[in-house]
Structure 1
Amino acid sequence: MNGSNGEERVVHEVAMVVPKRVLEEEEGDCVEVLVTELRKKGMVVDRVVGLAHEFLKVAAPSEILGNAAAELHIRKPTRLGIDLPFEMQGSEAFIRQPDGLLFSWFERFRCYQHLIYGIVNSGGHDVTLKLDGREFCWTAGESLLRRLESEGVIKQMFPLHDELKRKELLQNWALNWWNCTNQPIDQIYSYFGAKIGVYFSFLGMYTQWLIFPALLGFIVQMVDFGSLQFLALPSFFVGTILWAALFLQFWKRKNAALLARWQINCLVGPSQGYRFLGMEWSSLPFPKELIKNLGNERAKEKEAYQRYEWFAYRKRFRNDVLVIMSIICLQLPFELAYAHIFEIITSDIIKYVLTAIYLLIIQYLTRLGGKVSVKLINREINESVEYRANSLIYKVFGLYFMQTYIGIFYHVLLHRNFMTLRQVLIQRLIISQVFWTLMDGSLPYLKYSYRKYRARTKKKMEDGSSTGKIQIASRVEKEYFKPTYSASIGVELEDGLFDDSLELALQFGMIMMFACAFPLAFALAAVSNVMEIRTNALKLLVTLRRPLPRAAATIGAWLNIWQFLVVMSICTNSALLVCLYDQEGKWKIEPGLAAILIMEHVLLLLKFGLSRLVPEEPAWVRASRVKNVTQAQDMYCKQLLRSISGEFNSLTKPEQEQQQDSERF
């Protein structure tokens, strides 16, 4: 990004935390050596002294980042429509990002990591580094940052907020309440990366599409249709199922359009992994001895691969069974006890308190189950990090799904009381939304305040003064005290979007699977999502550090979960209608009940039929892709013809010269 005078604006995008020096600076000081090496790489380093630590803010000019991208062989789209490895000399041929920069945030951060971790001891001899009287050796060929991290000198490295862009997003997005669902998606993508940009695009589209079922549900809930009342709920049920199926199909179209607009190529390879920006995400983790012997003995080789493949499937199946059995044996009695106590209690206030305690216990148990799932996944044989992340999502969602809906299913199947079920749904929706909002907004701020308090208290104890207020002046230190955008089950495979996506999926399941019991839930969900957009934006821009960029082209496994919830909602709402119209409890196949069963099968066919009728890509995206492929083929064909003709000329030229010489004589 350029400044007002046409000069490049220096933006410190990465910070490193090092110990605050106790003794005077001495020769061979490791922090000074690190700063010197960073500046030799062409980076701009600013040292800031805080209350308890020192911070190194690092910035890199576009030329330095371009050289790093060329060394990493990052493939980028060109104006010709094909992806080529980046070269700094031909930078004008590559398409720029929506914010005008040459590299996306994901690419820039990857270049920063390459530059910083690429500082090695190339002197051919060991170097002695010092820090406050302590000495350690930096061996030849070793990465300096790795060495400093192992010695505890580099405590953390984290991305920094760009104040100018952050304030623009605050004004145009987080604090712009007039545009309820319209968001600057391109700015979000440029600042946070593709994964967060895709999520907020999905959340905004979902909230916009909720307006139709919200209005329809409000009418069905509030208006008395008289003699046609018995048709209101089935009609609403059919409308919501068609709405959900169309929404998911049109989201796929919008996702494809976003990727085309952001020039992100998402190609599915043989292992169903993604190639993003020319980097292979997944590779089959077969043992080295199998790969070395590839092609020697085809029959034995095929048998070994099949045995290894089925062994991996067996381990994943075993872990899934362990998760399911733990839910049934440990949590099912707890869920049924809660549902039974809820039915006995008569006071509404006590019911709300009971539901709040129940949700807190569920949250704790599910986080514990998520951590166990992470350990189980580490013992699995998955084809890629993406497969491991998807396996984690499915397992943890299964935990939440069972915990969230077992009690509700108990009310439906055993008591068959619509008023009780509606009361349970209202309490669940209200308390769960309040709980998630408090967790999203309050918990990060409390962590931030507590860390600042500890730092100030420690500083007062070191100075020996009990009076006076200690101010934290530097912005980088304030960023350091802020919590990271991490998942509640751990940061190994997922970031904070895991919790946000889980919350959204549970809300969708709640309003869809019990649509006939409480049509007004869609209106409550729409209002909640409008608030969710702003609170999440404030959380990302104000109370949390800038998230680490993650490469993602879609919402991933969550789309499959939403598809599953649509199918489940067809079954559950059909069961609800049976309970509603079979008031005698005899479960006889009367004309009305038979019509409900027929409607269930028709809706299932329509749901899967719409996925075939509505194209997943807009026509202009397909046309653009075909055009790019055609241009690439033409270019490669021309280059191939030139190379062939050049080789042919080089071979025939000596023969022609000999023939001419013979003719002269």
Structure 2
Amino acid sequence: MNELSEEKQPVFEIALVFSKKEEKDEEYEDYNEVMEVLVDQLKKTGLLVETVPGLAHEFIKLAAPLEALGKAAAELQIRKRTNIGMDLAFDWDQVKAFARQADGSLFSWCERHHCYHHLIHGIVNRSKLAVPLKYGSKKFYWELWEPLLQRLETEGILKEVFPLHDEQKKKEMVSSWAFNIWDVTRQPIDDIYLYFGTKIAIYFAFLGMYTQWLLFPAVLGIVLHSVDFGSLQFLAHPVFFISIISWAVFFFQFWKRKNYALITRWNISYTVGTGPGHKILGMDLNSRQHPLEFAKKLEADNAIEKEAYQRYEWKGRLKRIRNDAVIILSIICLQLPFELAYAHLYEIIGSDIIKFGLTAVYLLIIQYFTRIGGKISADLIKNENIDDKEYRADSLIYKLFGLYFMQTYIGVFYHALLHRNIMTLRKVLIQRLIVSEVFENLLENSLPYLKYSYKKHGAVRFKKKHDKGSSKGKVKVNSRVEKEYLKSAYSASIGGELEDGLFDDFLELALQFGMIMMFASAFPLTFAFAVVNNIMEIRTDALKLLVMHKRPVPRAAVTIGAWLNIFQFLIVMSICTNCALLVCLYDAEGKWKLEPGLAAILIIEHILLLIKFGFSRFVPEEPAWVRARRVKNATHTQDVSRQLLRTISGGEKMFNPAEAIKES
């Protein structure tokens, strides 16, 4: 156990927020104090507890020693990578067999958060009688086998449970990441993974790689914009167009390779979930059931289970088709006419002041439309038979992106294809890429600070009102945990429970990618603007996560999910739009005479579609070393499987895969 003794001193990672006590009533003296009971119960689970008074709330900070985390992980049956490469249910007695993280810790931040959740929400009344509790002027009974935190939430005593920043690690990452402008696109991805979890680390890995790869089309666009190719000028735009489509196809193939490499390096299983136990046909593999009884039960339930699964599967598919149809028809019938009306009015109005007022009204209305669309989409998804939270989040992303796609691009399409005004199109592109993105960066970094200042002022005002002028000196927030609590959560602008703040960050990248790709032939210089914006985005997003917001709740997603399909869709769209733009560019008279270049444009379109769907097979998605490691792990799995078969055929031992694996 020498390795365990070298484990770092536990730090406070979770905070519980309670409302301020009201005036006490002597009548309740026979009741137990809530805070005393809760602190005692938390300590019994093995957690380190510290109470902190605040201006407007009371706080409890929690830290977990390794042993407490290990026992919770064993109870949850969290699957972890072992030193032989297999993923097995964690066993505290065999702790040395499990691989450690890059920083030497046994559990990742995502695993630790699951353990904290299990420990604090697993506190139930195991006594024989209901326990009378009081909190200020409130009194109630803690019933038998009732979760204590759930009851405190119902009573309005417990306000929130949120993760705390590790001050030492945060300062190190602010210095090495957020303020390290000299590395440009280089980021400490492994440190981001250890501190924030997989999903956020994958986002920043994607953002960094995307920005690096953007340098090629940016340089190409600057050359095309600056150099006069003389008699070969008519070939410059088609060559550039073909180059960027090829660039996009290869970028996403190499991104998939990097994604595989990252999750393999972090010892994350991307084929098996990390939930509490796994089931086959509704039966828990960790149950202690005799193999003969297990086989009989499996055979009897096989036909029933198959029919139920088929009915469940097709019912869910039909619901998803219905919901998608509702969203698509809503976009076509409601949002499309509104967007076209705005674009038409913007085109015919001559006064800049009226245009500015029209844009302001448009932005207000479109935000209202988007919120309504988000609520409708979330309600529709609740009726779909999707058990996995990440799949439900992907379904929400697809539906919402349709709304944002329409409001972002329909005006640009209007200027490009209907009015065929290239100069106006370039002005709109510059406006969208520079003004809107700078405005978004300022907004997403200033709003959290304004919300924090408002909440801080409210806490100070509450303290003064509660003390009724008895406090001397200036009242201010002193405790770190209260400062963390007053910060805004890293949440999506749509307010959906299925998505966090990465929805807005990925949405911004996707809309930018569509803008620079779909109209590349009209204004190649947009790639240079995108590079500058993304370099700033890396640092501002890092500062936002480390300083402006609470520490996000970790998510276990190992890919960018639905956004990858959205980016692929935008590549196909860019092939179509750029072909139309090339026709517009070479139609000098503005009469849409397609005959001279129609054949060439069609040939280019077919070549690019071939590149999109053919060249993606040229670069393997999985690196050779990752595939070799997977084959090696599969060999170990076969050996363990043989041991399981011998255990089953023996008929004496219980069918428990975890025990069979340990014996092997």
Q: Which moved more, 1:511-520 or 1:300-309?
A: 300-309
1:86 aligns with 2:90: yes
CA distance in 2, matches of 1:220, 1:363: 37
1:643/1:310 Cα in 2 relative to 1: closer, same or farther (>3 Å)? closer
Aligned equivalent of 1:597: 602
1:397-476 equivalences under 5 Å are 397-465=401-469, 468-476=473-481
CA contact (8 A) 1:355 1:428 kept: no
Deviations 1:110-155 (A, max 9, x none): 0001111111111122111111232211112221111111111211
1:480 aligns with 2:485: yes
Aligned equivalent of 2:286: none
CA distance in 1, matches of 2:610, 2:487: 50
1:100-249 equivalences under 5 Å are 100-249=104-253
1:97 aligns with 2:95: no
1:342 aligns with 2:346: yes
Aligned equivalent of 2:513: 508
1:571 aligns with 2:569: no
CA distance in 1, matches of 2:413, 2:480: 51
1:308/1:77 Cα in 2 relative to 1: closer, same or farther (>3 Å)? closer
Aligned equivalent of 1:21: 21
Instruction: Quote the offset at 1:554 in angstroms.
Output: 0.3
Q: Secondary structure at the match of 2:17?
A: strand
- One-letter amino acid of the counterpart of residue 438, structure 1: L
Deviations 1:137-186 (A, max 9, x none): 11122211111111112111101000011111101100111111100000
1:536/1:282 Cα in 2 relative to 1: closer, same or farther (>3 Å)? farther
1:615-634 equivalences under 5 Å are 615-634=620-639
CA contact (8 A) 1:394 1:557 kept: yes
Instruction: Quote the offset at 1:42 in angstroms.
Output: 1.5
Instruction: Quote the offset at 1:332 in angstroms.
Output: 2.2
Instruction: Quote the offset at 1:463 in angstroms.
Output: 2.8
1:457/1:482 Cα in 2 relative to 1: closer, same or farther (>3 Å)? same
Give TM-score, length-normalised by structure 2: 0.89
CA distance in 2, matches of 1:301, 1:615: 37
Q: Which moved more, 1:167-176 or 1:79-88?
A: 79-88
Q: Secondary structure at the match of 2:488?
A: coil
1:484/1:598 Cα in 2 relative to 1: closer, same or farther (>3 Å)? same
Instruction: Quote the offset at 1:482 in angstroms.
Output: 0.5
CA contact (8 A) 2:517 2:574 kept: yes
Q: Secondary structure at the match of 1:322?
A: helix
CA contact (8 A) 1:275 1:281 kept: no
Instruction: Quote the offset at 1:314 in angstroms.
Output: 3.0
1:379 aligns with 2:383: yes
- One-letter amino acid of the counterpart of residue 485, structure 1: Y
CA contact (8 A) 1:440 1:536 kept: no
Q: Which moved more, 1:25-34 or 1:542-551?
A: 25-34
Aligned equivalent of 1:662: none
CA distance in 2, matches of 1:183, 1:455: 37
1:262/1:406 Cα in 2 relative to 1: closer, same or farther (>3 Å)? same
Aligned equivalent of 1:651: none
Q: Which moved more, 1:153-162 or 1:464-473?
A: 464-473
1:30/1:354 Cα in 2 relative to 1: closer, same or farther (>3 Å)? same
1:491/1:331 Cα in 2 relative to 1: closer, same or farther (>3 Å)? closer
1:613 aligns with 2:618: yes
Aligned equivalent of 1:12: 12
Aligned equivalent of 1:369: 373
1:130/1:297 Cα in 2 relative to 1: closer, same or farther (>3 Å)? closer
CA distance in 1, matches of 2:323, 2:651: 60
CA contact (8 A) 1:264 1:276 kept: no
1:605/1:36 Cα in 2 relative to 1: closer, same or farther (>3 Å)? same
CA contact (8 A) 2:79 2:90 kept: yes
Q: Secondary structure at the match of 2:409?
A: helix
1:293/1:346 Cα in 2 relative to 1: closer, same or farther (>3 Å)? farther
CA contact (8 A) 2:22 2:137 kept: no
Instruction: Quote the offset at 1:492 in angstroms.
Output: 1.3
Q: Which moved more, 1:355-364 or 1:142-151?
A: 355-364
Aligned equivalent of 1:549: 554
Identity over the aligned pairs, expressed in percent? 63
CA distance in 1, matches of 2:281, 2:366: 37
CA distance in 2, matches of 1:303, 1:104: 39
Instruction: Quote the offset at 1:206 in angstroms.
Output: 0.3
Q: Secondary structure at the match of 2:637?
A: helix
- One-letter amino acid of the counterpart of residue 571, structure 1: C
- One-letter amino acid of the counterpart of residue 617, structure 1: E
Q: Which moved more, 1:588-597 or 1:158-167?
A: 588-597
- One-letter amino acid of the counterpart of residue 315, structure 1: K
Structure 2's unaligned 5+ residue stretches are 283-296, 654-664
Instruction: Quote the offset at 1:411 in angstroms.
Output: 1.2
Instruction: Quote the offset at 1:320 in angstroms.
Output: 1.9
- One-letter amino acid of the counterpart of residue 21, structure 2: R
Aligned equivalent of 1:389: 393
1:54/1:278 Cα in 2 relative to 1: closer, same or farther (>3 Å)? closer
CA distance in 2, matches of 1:374, 1:295: 38
Aligned equivalent of 1:524: 529
CA distance in 2, matches of 1:316, 1:634: 42
Instruction: Quote the offset at 1:427 in angstroms.
Output: 1.0
1:59 aligns with 2:63: yes
1:163/1:459 Cα in 2 relative to 1: closer, same or farther (>3 Å)? same
CA distance in 2, matches of 1:253, 1:545: 32
CA distance in 2, matches of 1:297, 1:459: 63
1:437/1:354 Cα in 2 relative to 1: closer, same or farther (>3 Å)? farther
1:312 aligns with 2:310: no
CA distance in 2, matches of 1:352, 1:447: 28
Provide the alpha-carbon RMSD of the alignment: 2.8
CA distance in 1, matches of 2:356, 2:58: 48
CA contact (8 A) 2:78 2:274 kept: no
CA contact (8 A) 2:80 2:87 kept: yes
Query: Given the alignment, which residue of 257, 266, 276 partners 2:270?
Result: 266
1:96/1:307 Cα in 2 relative to 1: closer, same or farther (>3 Å)? closer
Deviations 1:276-322 (A, max 9, x none): 367559999xxxxxxx9996896x99777656544433332222222
Structure 1's unaligned 5+ residue stretches are 268-273, 285-291, 649-665
CA distance in 2, matches of 1:444, 1:87: 42
1:302/1:33 Cα in 2 relative to 1: closer, same or farther (>3 Å)? closer
1:499/1:571 Cα in 2 relative to 1: closer, same or farther (>3 Å)? same
1:244/1:359 Cα in 2 relative to 1: closer, same or farther (>3 Å)? farther
Deviations 1:615-664 (A, max 9, x none): 0011000001111111232344367569979989xxxxxxxxxxxxxxxx
Give TM-score, length-normalised by structure 1: 0.89
- One-letter amino acid of the counterpart of residue 275, structure 1: G
1:262/1:578 Cα in 2 relative to 1: closer, same or farther (>3 Å)? same
CA distance in 1, matches of 2:413, 2:47: 60
- One-letter amino acid of the counterpart of residue 605, structure 1: L
CA distance in 2, matches of 1:626, 1:277: 24
CA distance in 2, matches of 1:152, 1:258: 43
- One-letter amino acid of the counterpart of residue 479, structure 2: S
CA distance in 2, matches of 1:304, 1:636: 29
